[in-house]
Structure 1
Amino acid sequence: MRILLFTGKGGVGKTTLAAATAVRLAGRGHETLVVSTDPAHSLADAFGARLAGEPSLVDTRLSAAHVDTRGLVDSVWDELRGKLRLVLAGAGVDSLDAEELTVVPGLDELLALTEVARLARTGAWETVVVDCGPTAETLRLLALPDAIGTYLKRVFPPRSVRGMVSGVGRQGWADAVERLAEHLTDLRELLADPQVTGVRLVLTPERLVVAESRRTLAALALRDIRVDGMIANRLVPKAGMRGVLQRGGPAATWLRTRRAEQDAVLAELRVSTPLELRVVEHRAAEPVGLTALADLADELYGRSDPLACGDSRPPSLLRMRPDGDAYLLRVALPLTEQSDVDLARVADDLAVTVDGMRRLVPLPAVLRRYAVVDASVDSDGLLVRFEIPVEALS
């Protein structure tokens, strides 16, 4: 099974390209599901069909669905949350505090992702194409399994929860919390498995959009989530320019200048990343319906397989080597000179923050008694120097 997540800045056309990819996969004989987790659902508009929370057939070997996040929260979490409030109240926690403790930030987005995983594992589909929300929401979504797993461990430590629950005769709800934490771990492993999950980053050839895309690449690498391709959408079409350019005038000047700017941006992007970059020209009519989406897929993929990509396994996030009495730790991230990077030591972890996205990276055991003394950024990411603290040598 393969899972392809399509994301990008709002308005770049990721929904249409996700739908076109699903049409191509189904046309090549793959049982395919395309599902939207974007709160502003537009997948139904791309197919010109009505979609619901449960998958429905839109073509041979192709099913589609919208994830109903509000319904998931109502049906899956609210009951467990109510029981946990009873548990906390039985343990002497004030009712207002219990209400706050059982609010999990970002739960609706997390449940959308767990629903995708459920559909992927329980259905007969070989490929699942996911139309994610805009980039910022997707990055938050993909960070949630770690963040909420940590939240559950801190707020509901297994031993303390079992102690509170047993006191009020609710042992099963401690098990439910533990199962939820285990489920989040499984979800995290699914997302980080490069043999299963890949991200397709959609952009338009504009400098601001490309800058955000570069930040996204670094943020996803920080999560060990593999980006296996980029798609530049809405290039000024060269074929349609010929007649206008021959006639000249302001329209010809605008088209020539705009396409030249787009080509320059894409040339810089190709130099800065080893990822495959596919391009799609702007169309006069919006692609709606199976026939139009199939035509778009022909332009996007040609004769190639949408599942084909480059190296199937991303480089290891951490690589360590000795340097005399010190150690150098390489944190492999696609950074630029404009990247805002911050490092901090938190117990046995290294807290790495890149452009506002933070992750606690467990340090190799040998480095836990060493201190960070220096760090630099180069084309291969972060290079952090660890040395034994002076006070430890005395």
Structure 2
Amino acid sequence: MALILTFLGKGGTGRSTIAVAAAKQLAAQGKRVLFAAQDPTPAIDLLLETALTADPQPIAANLQAVKLYSTVLLERSWEELKKLEAQYLRSPFFKAVYGQELGVLPGMDSALALNAIREYENSGSYDVIVYDGSGDSATLRMLGMPEILSWYVRRFRQVFADSDLGKTISPFVQPIASAVLNVNWSSGDIFSQPAAAQVNNLLEEGRSAVADPNRVIAYLVTGTDPGAVATAQYLWGSAQQVGLTIGGVLLNQAQTTETLESTFAPLSMRSIPIKQGDWQPIMSALPDFTQATQAPRPIRIDTAERKVYLFLPGFDKKQVKLTQYGPEVTIEAGDQRRNIFLPQQLSGRPVSGAKFQEGYLIISF
């Protein structure tokens, strides 16, 4: 399995430069690296001194690069969807629509990029994938997509099953499915069929990957500008809401200070020099990305204590909202919302208390 490495921070802080340096550093260590850029402009091409295409191409020893063009990814994904349609439907109806005529709707970019990264990771061709995306909340929503979608499946499956509509049509699902589909449904539960199970497996795989710092890790990039520092703090806290571990802070083109180090404690901070033609000084200043597992984990559940510890740096208790409408607990911080999937020992128990302590929201049941 490949390590997926990305960088978060305010625009203009040098995220792409650091991402390229990281890819070069890891390739120099003998790892098979894919640099995946989502910016369609020529900026990254100039930085790499190579015109990137929609397919991976070698740009150095152990290093390949690709540009994630949304239109190309949409076309390729559409063809895969048509293959699935032909597999499950007796009379496919998407076959008359071609990927070349589809336009990219808002939000598609993130879903397409996430799927492309998943496919490259599953190919077994790479040890590390360095993803150079927008580096902001959009990147976090992209990485949090598997967990969010899995919640929708869990929640609305039960809502549908308990509804009058679900109870009414369930007896008719199997005969209708037999007439329309190429597969035989053994039950009337539309959420437990082969296609649905395949989707659930993909979502669970994505959730597990993002929650594992050995598979997905991010670093904050900032300068000394107060706006850049505040943005990095906000993204740090927001990353915890999608279960993403932040491995450390990279202070670009500036020297570390006690104030900055205390602002991001307990994360480690590295000072990155300005690029002056040679990549080596930046590469040498980068941290050992394999040590990111020592950073604070976003969530810890202690069933013996009946407590959930959620790490939310950068937020205070006035900015955090906790609600419990069903078997899960919802945490809202900033512009991110997370539904915590509780283990069986805590599922269904009401929240008995909550407190904010040293950056942690501690929830008792």
DSSP-derived class of the 1:12 partner = coil
In the alignment, is the contact (CA less than 8 A) between 2:151 and 2:339 conserved in 1? no
CA distances 1:18-37 after superposition (whole Å, capped 9, x unpaired): 10111111122222111113
1:310: how far off? 5.6
Write the distance in 1 (CA, Å) between the matches of 2:106 and 2:149: 8
2:144 is matched with which residue? 143
Output aligned runs, 1:197-346, within 5 Å. Answer: 197-235=216-254, 263=257, 265-269=259-263, 272-283=264-275, 292-298=278-284, 300-301=285-286, 305-309=288-292, 311=294, 314=297, 316-320=299-303, 322=305, 328-337=307-316, 340-346=319-325
Output aligned runs, 1:151-230, within 5 Å. Answer: 151=152, 154=156, 163=174, 165-171=177-183, 175-230=194-249
Write the distance in 1 (CA, Å) between the matches of 2:50 and 2:131: 17
Aligned amino acid, residue 147 of structure 2: D
1:21 is matched with which residue? 22
1:379: how far off? 0.3
RMSD: 3.6
In the alignment, is the contact (CA less than 8 A) between 1:21 and 1:297 conserved in 2? yes
- TM-score (normalised: structure 1): 0.72
1:108: how far off? 3.0
Write the distance in 1 (CA, Å) between the matches of 2:299 and 2:130: 26
Name the % identity.
23
DSSP-derived class of the 2:355 partner = strand
2:98 is matched with which residue? none
Aligned amino acid, residue 266 of structure 1: L
* 2:49 is equivalent to residue 48 of structure 1: yes
The 3 A distance-change label for structure 1 pair 340 and 44 is same
In the alignment, is the contact (CA less than 8 A) between 2:317 and 2:356 conserved in 1? no
CA distances 1:78-102 after superposition (whole Å, capped 9, x unpaired): 7738997xx99x9xxxxxxxxxxxx
* Structure 2, unaligned runs of 5 or more: 92-103, 185-189
CA distances 1:292-336 after superposition (whole Å, capped 9, x unpaired): 3334213x23xx6444446278374323555xxxx5543333354
1:362 is matched with which residue? 341
1:368: how far off? 4.3
CA distances 1:102-159 after superposition (whole Å, capped 9, x unpaired): x997343122112112112214222221112131111111121122344456489899
Write the distance in 1 (CA, Å) between the matches of 2:140 and 2:261: 26
DSSP-derived class of the 1:372 partner = coil
Write the distance in 1 (CA, Å) between the matches of 2:106 and 2:143: 14
Write the distance in 1 (CA, Å) between the matches of 2:80 and 2:26: 39
Write the distance in 1 (CA, Å) between the matches of 2:340 and 2:181: 38
* Structure 1, unaligned runs of 5 or more: 91-102, 237-261, 387-394
Aligned amino acid, residue 50 of structure 1: A
In the alignment, is the contact (CA less than 8 A) between 2:299 and 2:309 conserved in 1? no
Aligned amino acid, residue 219 of structure 1: S
Write the distance in 1 (CA, Å) between the matches of 2:213 and 2:229: 24
Larger Rg: 1
1:194: how far off? 1.8
In the alignment, is the contact (CA less than 8 A) between 2:247 and 2:267 conserved in 1? yes
In the alignment, is the contact (CA less than 8 A) between 2:8 and 2:235 conserved in 1? no
* 2:329 is equivalent to residue 350 of structure 1: yes
1:71: how far off? 1.9
1:349: how far off? 0.3
In the alignment, is the contact (CA less than 8 A) between 1:41 and 1:66 conserved in 2? no
* 2:361 is equivalent to residue 378 of structure 1: no
Q: What is the number of residues matched between the two proteins?
A: 331
Write the distance in 2 (CA, Å) between the matches of 1:233 and 1:143: 27
